[in-house]
Chains A and B, each alone.
Chain A
Amino acid sequence: AQKVTQAQTEISVVEKEDVTLDCVYETRDTTYYLFWYKQPPSGELVFLIRRNSFDEQNEISGRYSWNFQKSTSSFNFTITASQVVDSAVYFCALSEAVGSYTGNQFYFGTGTSLTVIP
């Protein structure tokens, strides 16, 4: 089973529309961390946000916002008033805190390719 599922493979929106990227994760740990990364066409992954499992407070950063719900194991990402520069592949990732100095594991979803049409 996938640890991190991003069911939306590709999304296209017209500039200025809002768009939500879904992420569903699976873990048995009580302590874990969730991340979103952006991979623009240039290829280098860029960190956007992290959340630990004890912090369900939603976060807003400019046009970006994140909705973390443990009850549904989801960590969704919304871009408000999308812009062409938002076009990229977005990855959700899970880090499990397995033990202390052994066995941290990291899992990325398959990514959602977002195209913002001018």
Chain B
Amino acid sequence: DTGVSQNPRHKITKRGQNVTFRCDPISEHNRLYWYRQTLGQGPEFLTYFQNEAQLEKSRLLSDRFSAERPKGSFSTLEIQRTEQGDSAMYLCASSFTFGGSSYNEQFFGPGTRLTVL
């Protein structure tokens, strides 16, 4: 299967712990996006990368959230000192984009469901 994959699919953690999620995009895609989705809401954009460069991160929810894509392939999203309000589905998507255009459709992964107790 060559779609976007995310690991783990489910994560349960205690408040105050750090968690890290991994996303493997479609191999030829140069852009990678992170979203958060809570129940009954649409995906909420967090950040994105073009290759290894993080081009937009102003919408990361707080300084407890950080993302990396060190070699321009897979990416990780880390949440430090988790809070109950962080409980949500975290979605990753990828696309192939030429130049600065943002028109290409994004292909989404299955998500990582985080539960903070």
| A-B interaction | yes
Q: Residues on A close to B: CB < 8 A?
A: 4, 33, 35, 37, 43-47, 50, 52, 91, 93, 95-97, 99-111
**Residue contact A101 to B43, C-beta cutoff 8 Å:** no
Grouping DSSP codes into helix (H, G, I), strand (E, B) and loop, the B interface class, with mixed when no group exceeds half, is loop
Provide the bound-state CA to CA distance between A44 and B102, in Å.
Answer: 21
Q: Of B42, B53, B55, which one neighbours A108 at CB under 8 angstroms? A: B42
- In the complex, the chain A residue whose C-beta lies closest to that of B100 is A100
Q: Are A44 and B55 also in contact (CB < 8 A) when A99-B100, A106-B45, A107-B45 are? A: no
**Residue contact B108 to A97, C-beta cutoff 8 Å:** no
Q: Residues on B close to A: CB < 8 A?
A: 33, 35, 40-45, 48, 50, 53, 55-56, 58-59, 89, 91, 93, 99-111
**Residue contact B48 to A104, C-beta cutoff 8 Å:** yes
**Residue contact B43 to A91, C-beta cutoff 8 Å:** yes
Q: Are A106 and B33 also in contact (CB < 8 A) when A45-B91, A45-B108, A101-B100 are? A: yes
Q: Measured between C-beta atoms, what is the minimum distance from B62 to chain A in Å?
A: 18
Grouping DSSP codes into helix (H, G, I), strand (E, B) and loop, the A interface class, with mixed when no group exceeds half, is strand
The 28 sampled A-B contact pairs (Cβ below 8 Å) are A4-B42, A33-B102, A37-B108, A43-B89, A45-B93, A50-B105, A52-B103, A91-B42, A97-B100, A97-B103, A100-B100, A101-B53, A102-B55, A103-B55, A103-B56, A103-B58, A104-B48, A104-B55, A104-B102, A105-B45, A105-B56, A105-B59, A106-B33, A108-B35, A108-B42, A108-B43, A109-B42, A110-B42
Provide the bound-state CA to CA distance between A103 and B50, in Å.
Answer: 12
Contact residues in A for B55 (Cβ distance below 8 Å): 101-104
Q: Of B58, B103, B111, which one neighbours A95 at CB under 8 angstroms? A: B103
Q: Measured between C-beta atoms, what is the minimum distance from B94 to chain A in Å?
A: 12
Q: Considering the complex of A and B, which 10 residue pairs feature the smallest CB-CB distances, nearest first?
A: A100-B100, A108-B42, A45-B108, A47-B105, A104-B102, A106-B45, A95-B102, A33-B103, A108-B43, A91-B42
Which of A96, A101, A109, A110 counts the most B-chain CB atoms under 10 A from its CB?
A: A101
- In the complex, the chain B residue whose C-beta lies closest to that of A42 is B110
Provide the bound-state CA to CA distance between A109 and B45, in Å.
Answer: 11
Q: A43-B89, A96-B102 provided; 9 other pairs, C-beta below 8 A?
A: A33-B102, A35-B105, A37-B108, A101-B53, A101-B100, A104-B48, A108-B44, A108-B45, A109-B42
